[in-house]
Amino acid sequence: MTQLVESQRASAALRNPSSRNNASLRNKILSMAVLSLVLAATYLLIFVDMRFVEFAMMIRTPKLAAIIIAAFCIGVATMVFQSIINNRIVTPCLLGMNALYILIHTAVAFVFGATSDFSADKHIAFCIDVVLMSVLSTLIYGYLFNKTNYNILFVLLSGTVMATLFGSISDTLLRTMDPNEYDVLLNSLIAGFNNVNSDIIALACTLIVLVAFWLRKEVMLLDVITLGKHQAINLGVPYDKVVVKLLLGVTIFITIATALVGPISFLGLIIANVAREFLPTYRHRYLLAGSFLAGVIVLLAGQLLIEHVFEFGSVISVFINVFGGAYFLYLIVKGQQL
């Protein structure tokens, strides 16, 4: 009887290749989740003296939470952004969103002072960053996409120019600031998990849950959005409305990750493309989960190297940007479509 049941299952799988593909994708997601859990346990427990385990957990747990939040925000935001643009080598950071965040953060500190409540109070500063970043990014990039009709070459060129412009304005403001305020501000603009803004972890998690719930319907339409604007409209999708909401969600997620750990420019490029290579599918429920788990794996492995091999001699953003830049060039040479 058991052999008959197994034979029927095998026969059904052969008749339905989609079910075999789904099973393969689920197994890959499960393997990534298991590897993430192993790395997380290793990070928490490696080289811990049992006499000081409580103290070690106080130091490492906020870092682990920040790694998970940053991986989720950057991974999901990049995958959604690439689906909107319909190109896998473009990320929000490459179009200047990180530079815009730095400009906003710097401008607030320049106007009100780096030691004022608007900058020194982590919760107030976080709320200001999220609101300003969301409004400005939606206006700037929404207009840019519509104006260029989602032409990736024009979008990439315009984004690069804007990133340079935002960076130049930030540098000008930094040079005219009081040296003491400059030191305070610069600390918050260097990406790394050694100086996590742990005060906003609870607020960041709450905002992530709210945004994810708000965008649950739009995320389910991503498989259709990737077909292109005209095809999506023909299938009954209110394309412009959906894209604006998704773009706002992308902006909020990038803001959360940047406010928590600082700007990490090429992380999204790496983990989104690793997920696409490892999970060859168009279904975003797998791609989004894969991008998130790839981010957790990359960040945990990188942080383990920083802390236990390089002994805090550097920050993870340096390695991410170096390897990410090389990977970006590799994707271009490989012939990814622009």
H helices of 16-48, where?
17-45
pLDDT at position 110: 85
Please enumerate in sequence order all residues whose Cβ is within 8 A of that of 70, keeping only pairs 6 or more positions apart, or say none: 257, 260, 261, 264, 267, 295, 299
Of 141, 133, 71, nearest to 102 by C-alpha is: 133
Report the alpha-carbon distance of residue 103 to residue 204 in Å, rounded. 21
Q: What is the pLDDT of residues 83-105, one digit of tens each?
A: 988 888 888 877 788 888 888 88
Q: Please check whether residue 128 is in contact with residue 118, taking contact to mean a CB–CB distance below 8 angstroms.
A: yes
Ranges under pLDDT 70 in the chain: 1-19, 150, 152, 187-188, 190-192, 335-338
The amino acid that residue 52 corresponds to is: F
Report the alpha-carbon distance of residue 145 to residue 299 in Å, rounded. 31
pLDDT at position 68: 95
Of 264, 206, 231, nearest to 77 by C-alpha is: 264
Q: Please check whether residue 57 is in contact with residue 41, taking contact to mean a CB–CB distance below 8 angstroms.
A: no
Phi, psi of 17 (to 5 degrees): -60, -30
Domain limits of the chain?
66-334
The enclosing H or E element of 241 equals: helix 239-261
pTM of this prediction exceeds 0.75 = yes
Coil, helix or strand for 302? helix
Helix, strand, coil percentages for the chain (3-state, nearest 5): 80, 0, 20
pLDDT at position 13: 41
pLDDT at position 336: 54
pLDDT at position 70: 92
pLDDT at position 8: 39
Q: Please check whether residue 198 is in contact with residue 126, taking contact to mean a CB–CB distance below 8 angstroms.
A: no
One CATH from 1.10.3470.10, 3.30.70.580, 1.10.510.10, 3.40.50.150 for 66-334: 1.10.3470.10
Q: What is the pLDDT of residues 190-245, one digit of tens each?
A: 666 777 777 888 999 999 999 999 999 999 999 999 888 888 889 889 988 898 88
- State whether the Cα torsion 179-183-185-189 is positive or negative: positive
